[in-house]
Chains A and B, each alone.
Chain A
Amino acid sequence: MDRRRLSLGLIATLTMGFTGTLGFAGAKAAVNKAAAPKRVQVTGEIIDTWCYVTEIMFAQGTAHHQCAVWCALGGIPVSVLGKDGKVYMVLRVEGDDTSVANPKLITIQTSEVTVDGDLYVRDGVNYLMVNKIADNKGIVNLTQDEYGIQPFGK
């Protein structure tokens, strides 16, 4: 059984060795190093990644603003929740490629922004290098009447 699997593997390796070494190496590189980024424009709300993705609490809008500030200061990645429903983790903002408790990101928590950036999609995660905050409408998602102060109240 093991031997058969081994020999099948050997045949596959040899076949590829003859026909597709370059192709295979290319594909592997694409997996390990993300493909060239895609220029994108994303509009959405600046959110705390952990609370939003895990749904441990209601994590959008004014109700969650304070918690989003806590989490960003605590060094949790900040993301843009796009109008397309996707979460874009921000790893750079306007030439500043620090992404842990970056004051530029903390101070725009919960704001609705439109950003131009380079998008790297890898292993199910959208990583966004923001080149420019093209627009910032400030905080427009008012959720405090419905959800109060998340998570602890006052």
Chain B
Amino acid sequence: MRRIFIGAGLIALGVIANAQAAEEWGIDFEKKARVEAKVVDMACELTGNCPDNCGNGKRQLGLLMDDGRLVPVIKNFDIFAGATNDLIKHCNKRIVADGLMISNPKMPMFALQFSKPAEGGKWSRANQFGKDWSKANGGKNSGQWFRTDPVVARIIKKDGVFGIPGLKAKSE
């Protein structure tokens, strides 16, 4: 009985330990990838114009690979959101990034699903945008953030869903 218990515990631990393993999203050119790389402010890396702390979350971040390749990280685990909020705490530090390397010839890029400091530490799920949004919006669930976001609402109210006030689709 006790042995079964321990066994079940180990399986549960295993599930938790593997919970950060990247999942496929069915996107062309995607490949599950776990890479160690340095988080960089891409504009800084390209132009040498480098504000403090990688732009404090207001600049797009990328992964600088050991072979010198720069890969933009353009997506996190939240729907319709990027990964800057997940990566900013790792500015100019090495991380282990787990997610999808999307080697699309139009633009190679990385979709971040989990990350942890390269020196060790816990994996964190790349859903910081949602957490931050929720905090900024009175604790509201961020699962459908785009439906209730006040800035979205303001823009769509002004310009319409198609971006042109009053424009309608034929089928409407």
Contact = CB atoms under 8 A, between A and B. Distances in A.
Same complex for A and B? Answer: yes
A148 to B, nearest CB: 6
A123 B155 contact: no
A139 B60 contact: no
Nearest to B155: A69
Contacts of B49: 97
B80 A129 contact: no
Contacts of B27: 54, 56
Nearest to B30: A54
B-side binding surface: helix, strand, loop or mixed? loop
Contacts of A125: 70, 72, 107-109
Contact of B60 (A37, A62, A70, A99): A99
25 contacts: A33-B48, A34-B45, A53-B109, A54-B102, A62-B163, A65-B161, A66-B156, A66-B163, A67-B80, A73-B146, A73-B152, A74-B145, A75-B82, A75-B85, A76-B74, A76-B80, A77-B72, A91-B46, A99-B60, A109-B163, A124-B108, A126-B107, A144-B162, A144-B167, A144-B170
Interface of A: 28, 31-34, 37, 49-50, 53-56, 62-63, 65-67, 69-71, 73-77, 79, 86-87, 89, 91-92, 97-102, 106-107, 109-111, 118, 120, 122-127, 129, 138-139, 142, 144-145, 148-149
